[in-house]
């Protein structure tokens, strides 16, 4: 399910600040050579995340789901010289590809790659983080969120990707049989419902690409 008309999205991309040529190289290589290339966040989402990072002056970032390094590099381009991106992935082969691309960028030194299961690695990291991007296995989304919330800096935010899951999160009656829900749909519904019902969190779910949930700790005014 395409959330936004392709021509509208292309126009938005044409008018937005975008990731660098180095990111384009990762995108092009991944789309031509790597299985699962649809997992890349792409230009529109990368531009929006860059805007968010700049708007909160983020310096310490945690990413769950490195893949071939596109989103990590796009984020590194939007934090200061002494900023750090800690990015976690379980797949050594895609991460070694990512590292080769990062080495060719002047922003690559900001990225620290951590190999292993996100659930094991997060508790070993030093808080706080200004920004957490959750884009790894959907099964563990809810646990990634619960681990990340206490690690946020006072103005920190969490972005969770793919929360519309091609529209499959809608009630079954709203879907064509061809788009019948799969195993991950339940995990994504779980995290969406948790945020919606959790009074200590402020969440905004946006229909950008495959759905992005922006989450922060709710301050009381």
Ligand X SMILES: C[S@@+](CC[C@H](N)C(=O)[O-])C[C@H]1O[C@@H](n2cnc3c(N)ncnc32)[C@H](O)[C@@H]1O
From residue 45, how far is each of 71, 119, 149, 207, 213 by CA, in Å? 9, 25, 22, 11, 12
CA dihedral 157, 190, 89, 18 (to 10 degrees): -50
Q: Which residues bind ligand X (CB under 6 A)?
A: 39-41, 64-67, 70-71, 88-91, 94, 117-118, 135-137, 140
Q: Which is nearer to ligand X, 3 or 200 (CB)?
A: 3
Query: Least distance to ligand X from the beta carbon of 88, Å?
Result: 5
**Given CA atoms 70, 73, 77, 83 in this order, what sign does their dihedral have?**
positive
Distance CA 189, CA 192 (A): 5
- Using the minimum distance from each CB to ligand X, give the nearer residue, 130 or 161: 161
Report the candidate in 24, 30, 115 with the shortest Cα–Cα distance to residue 73.
Answer: 24
CB of 103 to ligand X, least distance (A): 17
Kind and range of the H or E run holding 12 = helix 6-15
CB of 97 to ligand X, least distance (A): 10
HSE-up of residue 52 (Cα within 13 Å, Cβ side): 23
DSSP class of residue 7?
H
Q: How far is the CB of 72 from ligand X (least distance, A)?
A: 7
Q: Which is nearer to ligand X, 99 or 202 (CB)?
A: 99
- Whole-number minimum distance, CB 91 to ligand X, in Å? 4
Rounded to a whole number of angstroms, the minimum distance from the CB of residue 42 to ligand X is 8
The residue (of 136 and 195) whose beta carbon lies closer to ligand X is: 136
Comparison of 39 and 85: residue with beta carbon closer to ligand X:
39
Dihedral of the alpha carbons of 212, 213, 219, 221, in degrees to the nearest 10: 80
Nearer of residues 98 and 154 to ligand X, judged by Cβ:
98
Q: Which of 182, 183, 136, 184 is nearest to 160 (CA)?
A: 136
Distance CA 193, CA 158 (A): 16
């Amino acid at each position: 399910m395409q959330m936004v008309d392709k021509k509208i999205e292309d126009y938005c991309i044409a008018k937005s600040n975008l990731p660098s040529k180095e990111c384009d190289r990762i995108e092009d290589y991944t789309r031509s050579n790597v299985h699962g290339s649809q997992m890349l966040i792409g230009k529109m989402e990368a531009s929006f995340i860059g805007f968010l990072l700049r708007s909160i002056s983020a310096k310490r970032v945690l990413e769950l789901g490195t893949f071939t390094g596109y989103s990590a590099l796009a984020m590194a381009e939007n934090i200061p010289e002494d900023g750090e991106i800690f990015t976690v992935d379980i797949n050594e082969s895609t991460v070694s590809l990512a590292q080769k691309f990062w080495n060719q960028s002047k922003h690559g030194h900001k990225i620290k790659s951590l190999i292993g299961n996100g659930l094991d690695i997060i508790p070993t990291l030093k808080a706080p983080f200004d920004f957490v991007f959750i884009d790894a296995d959907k099964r563990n989304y809810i646990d990634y969120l619960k681990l990340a919330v206490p690690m946020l800096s006072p103005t920190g935010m969490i972005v969770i990707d793919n929360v519309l899951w091609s529209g499959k999160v809608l009630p079954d009656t709203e879907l064509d049989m061809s788009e019948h829900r799969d195993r991950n749909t339940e995990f994504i519904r779980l995290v969406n419902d948790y945020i919606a019902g959790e009074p200590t969190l402020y969440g905004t779910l946006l229909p950008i690409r495959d759905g992005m949930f922006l989450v922060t700790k709710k301050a009381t005014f």
